[in-house]
């Protein structure tokens, strides 16, 4: 009887297999391509979005410098980062520390403001920020959010006895890495807000517009190598404005 049952089951299995529809090529699930490896920058944005590690080693050294060698911290993006690279003597000779990071928006700067500025206990901070917000480096530009980030950095500094110098956003007729955003009107509006906020908050103002702007919202010839980032000549034009804004620091 057991043998008969086995034969019956075998027969049913064979019949079911014969009746099952054949799988056509169109029914075969497509193979999911493997994910491309992340670039180092993409990986860092996932693990250290504000890039706290960028200046961690320098901060550990610079916080113990004599006060005259850490008088002012320059917080910013690639324009600030490039400034220290192009004109290192300007920073060393005046006791300035550069804390610029290429591509950053104001939200990232706010997150790293404590370790990169407050913890160093400078007399003042120079904040040049906002152009990458307008360039939509981290999503659609929200002027209210950008203003709130600049306000927060200002309040945080002042609450810790650090004088604030807000810098007017430098001109840009267009962004070579993201063209078509028509930045001049947005830059002008943010700068109008910065001037008003500096006046009512007791912050200083470094207004670079008059020495950089070509009258149409772009950079004057020879002062930027891509229409956005200053050349050494562009930084040299900015520096008297900087020093005037920091006269009493």
Q: Is residue 24 part of a domain?
A: no
Domain count, the chain: 1
**Full-model pTM:** 0.85
Which sign, positive or negative, has the C-alpha torsion 112, 172, 140, 194?
A: positive
Q: Is residue 186 part of a domain?
A: yes
- Residues 6+ away with beta carbon under 8 Å from 180: 174
DSSP secondary structure string, 141-163?
A: --HHHHHHHHHHHHHHHHHTT-E
Domain, as residue range, for 191: 77-245
Closest Cα to residue 193, out of 226, 223, 244, 150? 150
Q: Is residue 10 part of a domain?
A: no
Residues of the chain with pLDDT under 70: 1-30, 32-33
pLDDT of residue 15: 57
Q: Is residue 54 part of a domain?
A: no
Closest Cα to residue 148, out of 170, 133, 164? 133
pLDDT of residue 41: 75
Check which CATH number belongs to the domain holding 89 and give it: 3.40.50.1110
SS3 of residue 175 by DSSP? coil
CA dihedral 107, 111, 112, 115 (to 10 degrees): 150
Q: Is residue 239 part of a domain?
A: yes
Q: Is residue 194 part of a domain?
A: yes
Structure tokens at 228: 């956005």
Q: Is residue 93 part of a domain?
A: yes
Distance of alpha carbon 75 from alpha carbon 187, whole angstroms: 18
Structure tokens at 65: 């410098």
Q: Is residue 44 part of a domain?
A: no
pLDDT of residue 25: 53
Q: Are 146 and 138 in contact (CB under 8 A)?
A: no
């Amino acid at each position: 009887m057991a043998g008969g049952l086995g034969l019956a089951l075998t027969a049913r299995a064979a019949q079911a297999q014969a009746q099952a529809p054949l799988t056509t090529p169109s029914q075969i699930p497509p193979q999911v391509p493997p994910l491309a490896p992340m670039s180092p920058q993409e990986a860092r944005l996932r693990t250290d979005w504000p890039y706290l590690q960028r200046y961690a080693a320098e901060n550990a050294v610079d916080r113990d410098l004599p006060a005259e060698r850490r008088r002012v911290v320059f917080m910013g993006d690639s324009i600030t980062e490039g400034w220290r690279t192009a004109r290192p003597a300007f920073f060393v000779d005046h006791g300035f520390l550069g804390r610029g990071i290429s591509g950053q928006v104001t939200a990232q700067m706010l997150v790293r403001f404590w370790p990169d500025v407050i913890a160093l206990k400078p007399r003042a901070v120079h904040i040049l920020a906002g152009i990458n917000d307008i360039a939509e480096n981290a999503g659609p530009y929200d002027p209210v959010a950008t203003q709130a980030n600049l306000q927060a950095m200002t309040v945080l500094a002042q609450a810790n006895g650090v004088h604030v110098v807000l810098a007017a956003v430098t001109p840009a007729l267009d962004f070579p890495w993201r063209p078509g955003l028509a930045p001049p009107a947005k830059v002008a509006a943010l700068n109008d807000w910065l001037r008003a906020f500096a006046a009512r908050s007791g912050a200083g103002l470094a207004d670079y517009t008059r020495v950089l702007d070509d009258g149409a919202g772009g950079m004057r010839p020879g002062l930027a190598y891509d229409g956005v980032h200053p050349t050494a000549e562009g930084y040299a034009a900015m520096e008297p404005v900087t020093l005037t804004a920091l006269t009493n620091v």
